[in-house]
Amino acid sequence: MRTETPAPIRLTDYRPPAFLVDEVHLDFDLKPEATRVKARLTLRRNGETGAPLRLDGERLKTLSVAVDGRALAAGEFTEEAHSLTIPGVPDAFVLETEVEINPAANKALEGLYMSGGRFCTQCEAEGFRTITWYPDRPDVLARFTVRMTADDSWPRLLSNGNLVETGRGTDGRRYAVWNDPFPKPCYLFALVAGELDELADSFVTASGRKVELKVFVDPGMSARAAYAMDALKRSMRWDEEAFGREYDLDLFMIVAVRDFNFGAMENKGLNIFNSSLLLADPETATDLDYERIESVVAHEYFHNWTGNRITCRDWFQLCLKEGLTVFRDQAFSADMRGEAVQRIKDVKALRARQFAEDQGPLAHPVRPSSYLKIDNFYTATIYEKGAEVIRMLKALIGAQAFRKGMDLYFERWDGHATTVEAFIACFAEVSGRDLSAFFAWYEQAGTPRVRLASRWTPETGELEITLTQRTPATPGQADKRALPVPVRLGLLDAEGRTLAFELDGEAADETLVVLEGEETRVTLTGVTSRPVVSALRGFSAPVELSSDARPGDRYVQLAGDADLFNRWEAGQEVARDLILARAGGAPDEVGEERFAEAMGRALNDQASEPAFKALLLALPTESDLAVASPPADPAAIHAARQALRLRLAVHLEDTLKRLHLGLQDGGEFSPDAASAGRRALRNAALEALAARPGAEVTALAEGHYRAASNMTDAMGGLNALMLLGGGAFTSALEDFRARWKDEPLVMDKWFALQARDPSPDALDKVAALTAHPDFDARVPNRLRALVATFASANPARFHAEDGSGYRFLADQILAVDRFNPMTAARLVEPLGSWRRYRPDLGARMKAELERIAAAPDLSRNVVELVSRALE
Ligand code: ARG
Ligand code: ZN
């Protein structure tokens, strides 16, 4: 029987909490199958007198309930599947409860669970209610004291805040008491217990306070935490310099766990990380891993101010902490690794995930107004578009006013749970601007389409630029408003040199035009030669821009745009159009040759950085191309993209070989951005060469793989061998597994690589890998490595004509939903976009969604996504 569609939660239904909690004392008696949790809450009425106390709880075995020291009889409270209600409570009182829970049986990895024999927690968003009875909502802030007792198998006992006491109880078991002086919502609670090694360091804050830093990892792994520790210290310094934010406790801890539903979690003073985003050394981690570790360590650390000190009033305000914190971590990464390269990577991710989301059934505003399961709203829209909105805000009011507004926000809201409105009000106040039109960016879903038209009059030197906008309808939002769109632009002459102009009598190289309303027109003067307009520089707004530029203009930009983002963008657009023309049956051979020629020049440009060239050389992905050409035909896209790759490989053979040979790094491995950039370009050159199979390139790839002294190059070699296929690939795969079979993080790469294999029998192999002894669907990292990678990064095989790829994914979703709904729900997206595909494929995708929908006992998480996809 089909699960009933549950009622949604709505923003307009928000009511302040009926009771507040001042103090919480938790006492954990930790045992894997039967942990006892005693909770003592000091409660205070906040709402109507006489209203009963209602607490959240799930899967709890209630042992006792007492009010002000008096145990309640069974009839004095009501326990339901998700709540505990006590009528007739005083206005201020102490509630004591005791429950029993089973962490060992918790495979949903939400609340208190076991990973690698250790106890750990994940409470955001609503996991705390599976630990104890509590008002589980972010606007209830309390001071936590946590005591835990465990056998000697769990020697380290960690929680938030400061360690108050440790020792052994009368029963000889170990205990520890922690106190967190900062009031916090329960989603920031954390507990870890087990055997862990620590890497210790310290940091002196700007005001001279010394903070102990500890990273806890699997025994024997502490050397692999060194890079995360280094990133942490750089993050702490950066937040002081860029935002004036100092760390507040005397201790900051990070714990790495293997079984985790997502990336990491910012629990106060005790961040918990997926080990894949924490552990690194040159042998086992790629440059991309290093880069992600740096950014996620920063992200979780930055949450201490944007999320923890100031938190969200309700979960509809999630972007208040997530969008803002992504904005902050992107700014940090740009400072660490170079602005242009970082921006290109961020925009690639935004387009691949968020633009796709905006085009599908799950399109939602940065601040949604209803949901079934909040876990489904940890999306690219909340995170990545949420960051873009703040970036635009900064562009619109200027860096100085932006910083002032942030200062005001920190000052005004410290210690509170607040809203997006309150955040924006700070910037309106300091800038004196009316930001009400801007606020629509938070409330309106969809990617605006912006059109630029320009008219140059040689006689007068006037360039008239007209910008117009239109946002396509999204589910539930048919009518769209015009949004304020900041468009940064400059001009180039026919040679690609910067072309100066005048605006309102002032000379300029670049300007910010704000498109307001449906249409905005500006006239630049003093334009002395025919201009190439370089618009939306640095991707100054999350929109899709089209223009009346002449075809040759992009080549001018590709060769010399001073804005590196637009230089890269020009290359991507040319490549995209060529691939789509071929996929549509009208290949432009002359254009392809011209593109190869231009690419060769860009690769040989001594002035640009290797990391940038590596990005230039990467053609738009098949998924990007699918998004750009609905209804998409994945097989045609795959073949057309292959054809362009082949042309580049032939045309640029000498250049690519030279890059591959010349960029060899002799010395000691260093994860720094410049070294990583050289490795990226060298591996990209090898991948480009692998578009033309043959004995020579196979030998080159094999040599590359065997000579690799770090994981980046080993994976680069393996990737090229995968693209080339055949016996060389099979034996390299075996060699790799023999070497790394005991390293789970490396084996995840082994699974993911095979999931990306575009060869025709890939699905059979992937399906066979689900039965491999090293595969375990209960470990989210492994599941994602194989199943999510196949569905999202192997479009040619996922979209097999007979629907076998879809069937495979649906089977996995159904199997995983039985024990881990959050992770199962994350696998739905590749099927959800069925409307964007060739109708016969779309119908098969839809049929699989219907099969899932008809299955019994689905989780709310999967129900929400599947039913919305079918609406
Ligand atoms: N707050 C965490 C972070 O962004 C992520 C928590 C994800 N939780 C969830 N239920 N999906 O750093
Ligand atoms: Zn976050």
Mean pLDDT over residues 591-612, rounded? 97
ipTM score of the complex?
0.98
Q: Answer whether 125 contacts ligand 1 (Cβ < 6 A).
A: yes
Establish whether residue 264 lines the binding site of ligand 1, counting it when its CB lies within 6 angstroms of any ligand atom: yes
Distances (CA, A) of 785 to 634, 645, 732, 781: 22, 26, 19, 6
The alpha-carbon radius of gyration of the chain (Å, integer) is 28
Task: Name 428's Cβ contacts closer than 8 Å, sequence gap at least 6.
Answer: 434, 435
Contacts of 624 (CB under 8 A, 6+ apart): 351, 352, 576
Helix axes 399-413, 386-397, angle to 10 degrees: 120
Supply the pLDDT for residue 1: 39
Inform me whether the pLDDT recorded for 522 exceeds 70: yes
Residue pLDDT, tens place only, 276-300: 999 999 999 999 999 999 999 999 9
* Mean pLDDT to the nearest integer, 241-268: 98
- The yes-or-no verdict on residue 405 having pLDDT over 90 is yes
Q: Which atom of ligand 1 is nearest to the CA of 300?
A: 12
* DSSP H or E segment with residue 154: none
265 touches ligand 1 (CB under 6 Å): yes
Helices (H), 75-195: none
How far, in Å, is the centroid of ligand 2 from the Cα of 6?
Answer: 27
For the beta sheet containing 270-274, the strands, ordered from the edge strand earlier in sequence to the opposite edge, are 197-204, 210-217, 251-257, 270-274, 264-265
* Pick from 486, 529, 522, 520: nearest CA to 504: 522
**Average pLDDT over every residue of 797-816:** 98
What distance in angstroms lies between residue 296's CA and the mean position of ligand 1's atoms?
A: 11
Tell me how far apart the alpha carbons of residues 442 and 420 are, in angstroms, rounded to a whole number: 8
Q: Is the CB of 748 under 6 A from ligand 1?
A: no
Catalytic residue among 96, 300, 569, 687: 300
Q: State what percent of residues in the chain have pLDDT above 90.
A: 98
Closest residue by Cα to atom 2, ligand 1, is: 265
Does any ligand 1 atom lie closer than 6 A to the CB of residue 592?
A: no
pLDDT confidence of residue 48: 87
Give the residue whose CA is nearest to atom 11 of ligand 1: 375
The yes-or-no verdict on residue 358 having pLDDT over 50 is: yes
Closest CA to 239 of 174, 360, 335: 335
Cα of 310 from ligand 2 centre, angstroms: 13
Q: Is the CB of 378 under 6 A from ligand 1?
A: yes
Rounded Cα–Cα distance for residues 817 and 57 (Å): 21
pLDDT at position 469: 98
pLDDT category at 667 given cuts 50, 70, 90 is confident
pLDDT above 70 for 422:
yes
- Do 609 and 341 form a contact (C-beta atoms < 8 A)? yes
Q: Measure the CA–CA gap between 293 and 278, rounded to whole angstroms.
A: 6
- Nearest residue (by CA) to ligand 1, atom 3, is 265
CA trace torsion 200, 205, 208, 209 (10° rounding): -50
Spacing, Cα 804 to ligand 2 middle (Å): 36
Query: 268-307 b/e with 16+ CB inside 10 Å = b?
Result: bbbbbbbbbbbbbbbbbbbbebbbbbbbbbbbbbbbbbbb
Give pLDDT tens digits for 538-574.
999 999 999 999 989 999 999 999 999 999 999 999 9
300 counts as catalytic: yes
CA atoms within 13 A on the CB side of 445: 24
Say yes or no: CB of residue 375 within 6 Å of ligand 1. Answer: yes
Band the pLDDT of 4: cuts 50, 70, 90. low
Residue 233 in this model has a pLDDT that exceeds 90: yes
pLDDT for res 5:
63
Amino acid identity for residue 502 in this structure: E
Ligand 2 mean position, distance from CA 730 (Å): 39
- Distance, CA 262 to ligand 1 centroid (Å)? 7
In this prediction, residue 414 has a pLDDT band, given cuts at 50, 70 and 90, of very high
Q: Which residue has the tokens 């040979």?
A: 661
Mutate to test the pocket of ligand 1, among 110, 121, 123, 124 (most ligand atoms within 8 A of CB): 124
Residue 266 in contact with ligand 1 by CB distance below 6 A: yes
Atom of ligand 1 nearest to the CA of 307: 1
Measured from the CB, is residue 609 less than 6 Å from ligand 1?
Answer: no
pLDDT category at 2 given cuts 50, 70, 90 is very low
Q: Output the CA 579–ligand 1 centroid distance in Å.
A: 37
The alpha carbon of 726 and the centre of ligand 2 are apart by a number of angstroms equal to: 42
Work out whether the CA dihedral 361, 367, 372, 376 comes out positive or negative: positive
Strand, coil or helix: what is 585?
A: coil
Neighbours of 493 (CB within 10 A): 17
CB 117 within 8 A of CB 163: no
Euclidean distance between the first and final Cα of the chain, in Å?
A: 19
Burial class for 230, CB neighbours closer than 10 Å (0-12, 13-18, 19+): middle
Position 6 scores a pLDDT of: 76
**Strands of 519-524's sheet in order across:** 519-524, 462-470, 449-457, 544-547
Contact 300 CB / ligand 1 (< 6 Å)? yes
The CA distance from 476 to 474, in Å, is 6
Could you give the dihedral angle defined by the CA atoms of residues 385, 389, 391 and 395, in that order, rounded to the nearest 10 degrees? 150
Residue 215 in this model has a pLDDT that exceeds 70: yes
What pLDDT was estimated at residue 490? 98
Ligand 1 pocket: which of 109, 128, 265, 820 to mutate (most atoms <8 Å of CB)?
Answer: 265
Helix locations, 120-165, DSSP H: none
Q: Say how far apart CA 318 and CA 439 lie, in whole Å.
A: 15
Which is higher by pLDDT, 820 or 4?
820
Rounded CA gap, 161 and 72, in Å? 33
Do 638 and 796 meet the contact criterion of CB atoms below 8 Å apart?
A: yes
Give mean pLDDT, residues 6-32: 96
* pLDDT tens digits, 717-733: 999 999 999 999 999 99
User: What's CA 6's distance to the chain center, in Å?
Assistant: 28
Long-range contacts of range 225-230, CB-CB < 8 Å, 24 or more positions apart? 225/199, 225/254, 225/256, 225/278, 225/279, 226/199, 226/281, 227/280, 227/281, 227/290, 227/293, 227/294, 227/671, 228/254, 228/273, 228/278, 228/279, 228/280, 228/293, 228/297, 229/199, 229/201
* Average pLDDT value over all residues in the chain: 97
Closest atom of ligand 1 relative to the 303 alpha carbon: 12
Give the whole-angstrom CA distance, residue 835 versus residue 424. 36
Q: Return the residue whose CA atom lies nearest to atom 8 of ligand 1.
A: 124
The C-alpha torsion from 363 through 367 and 373 to 378, rounded to 10°, is 80
State the pairing for strand pair 462-470/485-492.
unpaired
Say yes or no: CB of residue 456 within 6 Å of ligand 1: no
How many other C-beta atoms can be found within 10 angstroms of the C-beta atom of residue 29? 18
> Is residue 479's pLDDT more than 90?
yes
